[in-house]
Amino acid sequence: MITRRQSLMMAGAGLVAGCATMPPRPEGPSLNALAARSGRRFGSAVGAGRPGTLTASFDNRAYRRLLEWECGVLVHENELKWYALRPDASTFTYEPADRIASFAAERGMGLRGHTLIWHHPQWFPAWTSSHDYGARPAAEVERLVVEHIDAIVDRYGMIDSWDVINEAVDADTGELRVTPFSERMGGPEAVMDLAFRRTRERAPMAQLVYNDYMSWEAGHEAHQNGVLRLLEGFRARGVPVDALGVQSHIGSGNSDNSVGFDTARETNWRRFLDEVVGMGYDLVITEFDVHDKNLPADFAQRDAAVAELGRRYLDLMLSYPQMGDILCWGLSDSHTWLQGRWYREDGLPKRPTPYDAQYRAKPLRQAIADALIAAPPRRSA
């Protein structure tokens, strides 16, 4: 449900059907062309949600133009999640996901897969709790997971990089989350190992990713440690995981009580990344945006601070040769998920993406371009 406050925010952000006319394309190469110079791709999430909402960027012609200009790879924002694809145990709702996949295929773009299992109880559809798992619940979970992976991976055979598991580590404690599946299968590891192994069988050429939102801000240490333990476990058990998806929602910190803008702890973050690549994992930036909740109202000041932090972050990430593709979680302020929660004190719309709500390039777009131009070549782990 969209609240009155959200609808006002959306109007403020320019998310009103038909109000967008397309400003000229930025001069010079696209972000994807710049990424290609060092062997990477640039891309974005796009959503085919209910028309007129923040999740419906694909509905917007101007937004689709931005994708065509800038991207070499797309990812569904929500359409492959269980709650979107599977209203009940036997129905699959493919149409919104198909539209995005066709758009990418027709333009020769790549596609990432988000996500085969969002390992977080909040995002499991309600029916997974009330489902009749029968006398052998573990076997029934296994059947559901295998059926899901086979159906989705086969249907979207063009997907070359899968977020097989998303957000399994509790950010506060570092422990693995318990889900309706894990509690019936004898633990989270059993579900995750099965998912990775099955995906490898069905998509042997695809990059298999564990994706999470541990970040470089202060307060993320428990989350980072939990992710390291999980990645060590995968290696110890011989589970086929190729890369860590670093979501990269940086900036103000995503919570109601966020106070600062930049609390980056670079030395600690490098130590974390060193351990990850030391275990032989590649890195992917899967959901980049720069939250500006606590920055001043003034657009120029805000945009400059967002661009400066974004550049510093991307430079650090791109200093790792194992760092691969870079995807933003939305290209325009008209449709970012951050407009829908953790509102600014001044009530103004946020500016966390490379293009403003009128589809004009902002300093963050230039910062991404500059970071890509300066990037050393990619070398896979």
**Smaller CB distance to ligand 9MR: residue 32 or 353?**
353
Contact between 94 and 155 (Cβ < 8 Å)? yes
**In 10 A of CB 12, how many CB atoms?**
15
Interface pattern 165-204 for ligand 9MR (x via CB under 6 A): -x--------------------------------------
Q: How far apart are CA 202 and CA 225, in angstroms?
A: 31
Contact between 248 and ligand 9MR per CB under 6 A: no
Q: Identify the three-state secondary structure at position 77.
A: coil
If one asks whether residue 216 binds ligand 9MR (CB under 6 A), the answer comes out as: no
Phi, psi of 316 (to 5 degrees): -65, -50
- Inter-residue contact 109 to 142 (CB < 8 Å): no
119 versus 378: smaller Cβ distance to ligand 9MR: 119
> Closer to ligand 9MR at the Cβ: 44 or 78?
78
Token pair 């974390």 is found at: 272
User: Minimum distance from CB of 339 to ligand 9MR (Å)?
Assistant: 10
Other CB atoms within a 10 A radius of the CB of residue 106 amount to: 8
246's enclosing H/E stretch is: strand 243-246
Which of 287, 272, 280, 187 has its CA nearest to residue 227? Answer: 272
- Measured from the CB atom, the residue of 321 and 352 that comes closer to ligand 9MR is 352
Question: How far is 179 from 45, CA to CA, in rounded Å?
Answer: 26
Using CB atoms within 10 Å of the CB of residue 306, give its burial: 0 to 12 exposed, 13 to 18 middle, 19+ buried.
buried
**Residue 379: CB minimum distance to ligand 9MR, A:** 27
Of the pair 126, 373, the CB lying nearest ligand 9MR is at: 126
Q: Which is nearer to ligand 9MR, 32 or 55 (CB)?
A: 55
Backbone φ and ψ of 143, nearest 5°: -60, -45
- Residues from 281 through 300 that contact ligand 9MR (CB under 6 A): 287
Number of residues counted as binding ligand 9MR (CB under 6 A): 10
- Contacts to ligand 9MR from residues 56-95, by CB under 6 A: 77-78, 81
* Minimum distance of ligand 9MR from residue 123's CB (angstroms): 6
Measured from the Cβ of residue 21, the count of other Cβ atoms closer than 10 Å reads 8
- Encoded tokens for 249: 């929602």
Q: Please identify the residue of the shown chain whose CB is closest to the bound ligand 9MR.
A: 337
Using rule CB under 6 A, residue 247 touches ligand 9MR: yes
Give yes or no for residue 215 binding ligand 9MR (CB under 6 A): no
Q: Name the minimum Å distance from CB 193 to ligand 9MR.
A: 21
Cα(55)–Cα(337) distance, rounded to whole angstroms? 7
Q: Round to whole Å and give the CA distance between 358 and 333.
A: 8
- By the rule CB under 6 A, 337 interacts with ligand 9MR: yes
Report, in Å, the least distance between residue 331 CB and ligand 9MR: 13
Radius of gyration of the chain (CA): 20
Q: Which two tokens stand for residue 40?
A: 């990477």
Do the Cβ atoms of 200 and 242 come closer than 8 Å? no
Minimum gap (Å) between residue 238 Cβ and ligand 9MR: 27
Shortest separation between residue 338's beta carbon and ligand 9MR, angstroms? 8
The correct pick among 55, 199, 215, 248 for binding ligand 9MR (CB under 6 A) is: 55
Which of 310, 243, 309, 305 is CA-nearest to residue 277? 243
Q: How far is the CB of 342 from ligand 9MR (least distance, A)?
A: 11
- Taking the least distance from each CB to ligand 9MR, the nearer of 120 and 202 is 120
Q: Is 176 helix (H, G, I), strand (E, B) or coil?
A: strand
Q: Which of residues 122-151 bind ligand 9MR (CB under 6 A)?
A: 123
Which x/- pattern over 9-48 shows residues binding ligand 9MR (rule: CB under 6 A)?
Answer: ----------------------------------------
Binding site for ligand 9MR (CB under 6 A): 55, 77-78, 81, 123, 166, 213, 247, 287, 337
